[in-house]
Chains A and B, each alone.
Chain A
Amino acid sequence: MPQSADRVLDHAPLFRQPEYQEMFARKREQFECPASGEAVEAQRDYARTWEYREKNLAREALVVNPAKACQPLGAVFAAAGFERTMSFVHGSQGCVAYYRSHLSRHFKEPSSAVSSSMTEDAAVFGGLNNMIDGLANTYSLYDPKMIAVSTTCMAEVIGDDLHAFIQNAKNKGSVPQDYDVPFAHTPAFVGSHVDGYDNMIKGVLEHFWKGRTRSAGEGLNLIPGFDGFCVGNNRELKRLLDLIGVSYTLIQDASDTYDTPSDGEFRMYSGGTRLEDVAAALNARATLSLQKYCTRKTLDYAAEQGQETHSFHYPLGVRGTDELLLKISELSGRPIPEAITMERGRLIDAMADSQSWLHGKKYAIFGDPDVVYGLARFVMETGGEPIHCLATNGTKAWEEEMQALLASSPFGASGQVWAGKDLWHLRSLLFTEPVDFVLGNSYAKYLERDTGTPLIRTAFPIFDRHHHHRFPVMGYQGGLRLLTTILDKIFDKLDQDTIDPAKTDYSFDLTR
């Protein structure tokens, strides 16, 4: 009996004990009818070949381990960035359980959203009654200042019309006539979570801007985009903007929503962009999106209103941050203060100190289109080479932008761009054209195990490590954090490879 009260073994050590090992062998031999060891070995070897890779890349219908989620997740995340806003997802209720779990697992925070809980009868008769009753319940129970409505694929397939439904519900008295209920159609079978983000932000802006006359001012709007690091990033952005002294509105700021303190009180709502600020943002001089592919429709809408618009690709690293700050300085007419120049210099200092360890390292980078762009750009600044750049929700246009980015640096010469491919494709790529490190989210831990390529966690979702999202990766400070994360992995790997006494430990150096 391996277990004892003195030293309680949980699953990690428990099942390695001989009793369990023997039991597993018995089960396998007597009941499982498994594929033979040779067959498994042969298939394992085959799956590492160029031949398998070609077959794998030729896939037309099957998607395996995609690096994207569906639109409503983006809409729920977007709504979480506004003051006292409850996300209301119109459709089947199981979806909402999934969005809430997904966000909670990443942020380790509460994630509030309600569902209109449509079932079979709603599929036949439409979900109008669910909207009427649902808005009334949400309004009375959760006391939100705004209810942001999005849809699941069910509501979209049966063709529920949100605009009409919400008006109907208001007429029935579910919520007051002048109550804020912005909405967005977010079909799960179109695009991905970045489009859901876009649709919801546009829905919110339209709700507050429609029918109002713009009087152009000097302020700037910044839209961060779908960002699993919003807690650290948004706060860092605000710090930098305050240092420059710009008048700005961060439209969709979930940094406090997903980072409430533990002091005995559960805050269902915390922080978020104030609704009056959203309304006033119509008068901004310009709207800047930090993630172009999260805001394509939103920026078009802002431009239609007469605003100047600019977009970035998840601006991080030296040049990424430079560009953003320069643009802000240019638009606001405010110079970049010395304090920020010093911060920049410190990041450069750190990069110079570590450059020998970073130079020539090869990376596979995957994630949302803008995130991949930003990371690849930073990696090249450190002398690293992005070899595989993959976005399951990447478009043809993104592919072209990535190609241009890679062509802009000699370190991009071996880079390949994989739009629309998934992590099972990436597995083949890593076997046939290996790299030193993978930059991406937690799902790549399976790639790390299968291919032996160390994973550096930098994106969304990160389920299996804690608190990364609390630290920025944007700005020069964020760059320092990202640089350190990458270096830690490089040194950990080196230590791991040189740790065997009397075999490899001559390179197990103390000072580096």
Chain B
Amino acid sequence: MSLDYENDGALHEKIIEDVLAAYPDKFAKRRRKHLSVATPAGAEETAPAEETLLTECDVKSNIKSIPGVMTIRGCAYAGSKGVVWGPVKDMVHISHGPVGCGQYSWSQRRNYYIGTTGIDTFVTMQFTSDFQEKDIVFGGDKKLDKVISEIESLFPLNHGVTIQSECPIGLIGDDIEAVARKKKKEIGKTVVPVRCEGFRGVSQSLGHHIANDAIRDWVFEKQDGEIAFEGTPYDVNVIGDYNIGGDAWASRILLEEMGLRIVGNWSGDATLAEIERAPKAKLNLIHCYRSMNYICRYMEEKYAIPWMEYNFFGPSQIAASLRKIAKHFGPEIEEKAEAVIAKYQPLVDAVIAKYGPRLKGKSVMLYVGGLRPRHVITAYEDLGMEIAGTGYEFAHNDDYQRTGHYVKNGTLIYDDVTGYELEKFIEKIRPDLVGSGIKEKYPVQKMGIPFRQMHSWDYSGPYHGYDGFAIFARDMDLAINNPVWGLFDAPWKAKPAPAFLDAAE
């Protein structure tokens, strides 16, 4: 199902001009390239229906943020430790450098896992070398060596260590690769140095890439000997699902039901063994393209494993994705996939019947990272909601190309939006819901506009899969239709209060 609506492109063009007027000229010019309005795609497209481009939404991306603004972006360390490596649960991830980076990212991404924390599992812990001035002056390699020894002695059931470099490491020229090689020999476990210093690149995106390269160089390439593994023709890896609030689990249950076997789940709830065995799989299924396409391309080249993108947000995309995946494996799996879709159809119908009327026609603005600015669009549309604007924190050109498949004509597109722009966009469009992060949540709510954190699912979730769609629908309803939004105006300053729907379960 896909809604037919069109946004007010002319209004959106006007809004862009308005925000740019506030900048000094030089920076208005630079920012203009990152803001646009989606226009109808060229007619020459001959791709299959699901790959048809709806719009062009070309903006400049993956360029340095301008100084002195509230960019919402993170850094390479956030991309590597915070996103890719951090969720690998049986390894200890050292935040190598000063104490802050590890502290602020400690337990903040809700990468759910099962394990005994502090004994054989370490995701919600903060391990740091806590750099002091003397480490900056004399170098931190000796300290790092000792840190790894102490980890080995206090947490012997760890299956390996990663070294997540913070800014000073690269600046003072530490040789963490040499320490990694030495310690690997000493402790006989995987030790991965990751050069994800925060000043590298222009956003967290480079951190993802560097983390992928570290998997290639320090896990795959360092594997000695054959890993014992009994394969089946239906072995797949799920790549780029970080199990936020259990997303990967709500996805895995569907893939298993259609007869596939998931060798490795990257990297939510993952163990090192799952990553090591990934080259044995027959297909890589990638959810967050931006953060992990690199390693999929590598596995394709090196191990001839094909990869395929999929989208598990909302029933239309879930069904389309299950069919696309099944097609790769042939009729037997295709039949099972149809059975899975049929099995969940009553749930989908019931969810839409219950929440659709409460959400129909409501407009949404998104600003997130990874895959979400495009992938969640159809989940909203499945509920009858419309997307007025969307944008990415750290997308590249190919992400915006992919976005063209999802957004409607006239949609406002904003890349690396600044706090100032986003606030003005929201003020002028006044959508019924904004989906973004913690830094955006409270300013938007103060304006009286309902909000959901779409990085962390606002402490709810999962949102993936059919089980997740029910939660997604409930959460959007509880955000939009809570009575609090009707209480903002004091009665002695009264405007008529909007009518609110009755409470839902």
Contacts and interface: CB of A to CB of B under 8 A. Distances in A.
A69 B99 CA distance: 6
Contacts of B423: 266
Contact of A154 (B198, B249, B448, B490): B198
B249 A20 contact: yes
A142 B104 CA distance: 25
Interface residues of A, number: 114
B171 interface: yes
A62 B66 contact: no
A5 B146 contact: no
A136 B126 contact: no
Contacts of A118: 67, 199
A503 interface: no
B24 interface: yes
A65 B271 contact: no
A65 B199 CA distance: 25
A101 B69 CA distance: 16
B116 A136 contact: no
Contacts of B441: 104
Counting chain A CB atoms within 10 Å of each CB, which of B98, B274, B441, B471 scores highest? Answer: B98
A119 B154 contact: no
Interface stretch (A107-115, A176-184, A330-338): A107-115
A66 interface: yes
B75 A88 contact: no
B73 A134 contact: no
Contact of A190 (B133, B166, B170, B473): B133
A164 interface: no
A140 B470 contact: no
Nearest to B472: A8
A93 B75 contact: yes
A262 B445 contact: yes
A443 B156 CA distance: 23
Nearest to B269: A27
Interface string B264-292: 11000101111001000000000000000
A157 B167 contact: yes
B179 interface: no
Contacts of A92: 75, 167, 198-199
A301 B150 CA distance: 41
Contacts of B420: 141-142
A97 B74 contact: yes
Interface in A45-100: 47, 52, 55-56, 59-66, 68-70, 72-73, 88, 91-100
A335 to B, nearest CB: 39
Given A62-B150, A70-B98, A40 B120 contact: yes
Contacts of A408: none
B419 interface: yes
A93 B438 CA distance: 16
A267 B64 CA distance: 28
B249 A64 contact: no
A421 interface: no
Interface stretch (A31-39, A221-229, A314-322, A369-377): A31-39
Which 7 A-B residue pairings sit nearest by Cβ, starting from the closest?
A94-B75, A70-B100, A134-B68, A134-B67, A137-B68, A33-B273, A5-B350
Given A11-B246, A62-B127, A260-B446, 13 more contacts: A4-B470, A9-B467, A31-B263, A69-B100, A94-B73, A98-B100, A100-B439, A101-B439, A117-B68, A135-B68, A137-B67, A188-B99, A265-B447
